[in-house]
Amino acid sequence: MAGAIWAIGEMLDGEPTRLTRELATLAAGLSADAQRPGATVLVGAGAAEAAPSLADHGPDVIAVDMDPAGRPAAAVVAEYVAALVREREPAFLLIGASDDGRDVAGSLQAMLGWGALVSAAGVRWTDAGPQAEMSVFGGRLTTTSHLAADHGIVVVRPSAVVAQAGPRPGSVERVEIASAFRLADVRVVDRIVGTTGPVAIEEAMVIVAGGRGVGGPEGFVVVEELASELEGAVGATRAVVDAGWIGYGHQIGQTGKSVRPQLYVAAGISGAIQHKVGMQTSGTIVAINRDPDAPIAEFADLMVVGDLFEILPRLSAALRSRRAR
Amino acid sequence: MRIVVLLKPVPVVGTEKLADGWMVDRSSGLEANGNDEYVLEAALKIVEAHGGEVVTLTMGPAPCTEAIRKALAMGATRAVHVVDSALAGSDALATGLVLAAALGRMEYDLAMAGADTSDGQGGIVGAAVAVHLGLPYLSYAAAIEPDPGAGTVRVRRISPTGYDVMEARMPALVAGTQLLGEPRYPSLRGIMQARSREIASWSLADLGLGPAEVGSAAARTVVDGAVHPPERAGATVVREAPDAAVERIVDFLSARRLI
């Protein structure tokens, strides 16, 4: 039988991440189209306990339940996946484009000598194997690519598919395997948990982002209020992150995160190229800016000319009363 | 402290275009990748505190020289430029092999790279280079603190919930982010000094690699095509007073089923 398609999972606080569930759904779809086996591999402390809910997405789960013992999760995952690949010879690995996922993908690329398609916004099955769609040059161009060999890695961005339950749940196989590789030693000597909790802007369906027009850290209150009404996340431009108004985890653009929510509300954001490249593939873009000639008017769907401090609170209130109806 | 900074010259963001064979056009207008400049700044600060030197390592075509010269003007003391016509079209796998081969011929306590690049977007080459060389890999660094006496380095790595503090022995490879701090501007003196600083040019043969192992010849990924996504229809402009404007926003979002 042709080689399997594996999704490589990731856990946060003992739970598979949303991106992991998306990868499992993607593996289910691709393996059905390719008529190849599919599986999701989950490595880490608590993997066995987390596995059944992940199996609901369809593919069988291969769980390696082990304690990373103070080593970085990405290194440990890469070592065990490499050992499993040697033993079971799957053909394609789907890996999430998270920080840890990229580290896993890079390590596996070198350990296995496999090609890698990166930053896939969508993946479909073709006669030539998985074909990845990638948004390049800040969204000005969309490329499609495939792997030259009959095996390889595809690094998949959040929201390539919507995670959903499979027609029937997969099985859970708990595996005890020695990792055949040992990466150079790195120790996690301390974990510092921030006060804000995880900032999942890459996974958010709605983002309300603030720029210089927000005026200062206290100005983000109205941005946060609207984000909360829309059940979305708070984004920011580099200028306001540099100014210390909000943390780097919120930064969207060239040296921050690239996002593609269904709705992007840009408040007090001029739309400089460094920001634009991180958000211009969003579904609908609504801009609120006092300057009708701000560059963002050129790529917004709705350009509201006005003071964000007058608009945002009223919009939050309107959404609240609409929901109450 | 001897530090090698991996420096990738990329097209200025917003001006990227394709050349023949679906390759990124690198014929002119290249500047240092954003994250690489933050890393270079961090390396220069480490050397200012502990002594030593910063050397840059670049793989790319001849037009990379201008960006390399700027790094020298910022304070790197010399540069290595791996340049060979067979390198064009290299994928991530080949890039990792070439950079590892070059680093294998250099002496360093720390190799440092940007967490990802604006043109490639992969963010996977650093980890691959570390594996090839058997180096500890510390990524997504917000702060880098070497302890030359103990021969170790500590990195604050961005995590989904805050920071992880990581430690490893040197030599090690660190991939860094914007949180390392704003890069300096070259001084006039730096620009003058950069003119006489050495840019060593290394070919594939110098690295012991053959032309079939890299470039388009060895690429494990194949581009099938590229299209321009459909343009947005142009913004509907709302200029009403706040209450009326909000009503229009709500109608707009509702019509698109976003609320």
Q: Look at residue B258 and tell me if it is in a domain.
A: no
Q: H or E stretch including B11? A: strand B9-11
**Superfamily the domain A201-324 falls into:** TPP-binding domain (3.40.50.1220)
Determine the pLDDT at residue A1: 57
Interface contact flag, A255 B179, Cβ < 8 Å: no
Q: Which residues of chain B lie closer than 8 angstroms to A102, CB-CB?
A: 116, 122-124, 127, 139
Of the candidate CATH numbers 3.40.50.620, 3.30.1180.10, 3.20.20.70, 3.40.50.920, the domain formed by A5-174 belongs to 3.40.50.620
Q: How far is B259 from chain A (nearest CA, A)?
A: 8
Query: A172 CB contacts (<8 Å, ≥6 apart)?
Result: A48, A51, A52, A55, A60, A61, A63
pTM score, two decimals? 0.95
Q: Number of A:B CB contacts under 8 A?
A: 282
Tell me the domain boundaries of chain A: 5-174, 201-324
Q: Look at residue B15 and tell me if it is in a domain.
A: yes
Interface contact flag, A105 B127, Cβ < 8 Å: yes
Q: Look at residue B259 and tell me if it is in a domain.
A: no
We report the CATH number of the domain holding residue B174 as 3.40.50.620
> How many other CB atoms sit within 10 Å of the CB of residue A65?
17
Q: Look at residue B79 and tell me if it is in a domain.
A: yes
Query: A169 CB contacts (<8 Å, ≥6 apart)?
Result: A52, A55, A56, A58
Query: A100 CB contacts (<8 Å, ≥6 apart)?
Result: A10, A72, A73, A74, A77
Q: Look at residue B13 and tell me if it is in a domain.
A: yes
Tens of pLDDT, residue by residue, chain B (259 residues): 999 999 999 999 999 999 988 999 999 999 999 999 999 999 999 999 999 999 999 999 999 999 999 999 999 999 999 999 999 999 999 999 999 999 999 999 999 999 999 999 999 999 999 999 999 999 999 999 999 999 999 999 999 888 999 999 999 999 999 999 999 999 999 999 999 999 999 999 999 999 999 999 999 999 999 999 888 889 999 999 999 999 999 999 999 999 9
Q: Which domain holds residue B192?
A: 2-218
Q: H or E stretch including B226? A: strand B221-227
Q: Look at residue B245 and tell me if it is in a domain.
A: no
Fold matches, A5-174 and A201-324: yes
Instruction: Give CA–CA dist A148/B231, Å, rounded.
Output: 32
Q: Look at residue B155 and tell me if it is in a domain.
A: yes
Nearest to A142 among B137, B167, B227 (CB): B227
Instruction: Give CA–CA dist A150/A91, Å, rounded.
Output: 7
A176-199 pLDDT, tens digit per residue, is 998 878 999 999 999 998 766 666
Q: How many domains would you assign to chain B?
A: 1
ipTM: 0.96
Instruction: Give CA–CA dist A230/A207, Å, rounded.
Output: 8
Burial environment of residue B28 by CB neighbours within 10 A (0 to 12, 13 to 18, 19 or more):
exposed
- Residue of chain B minimizing CA distance to A272: B14
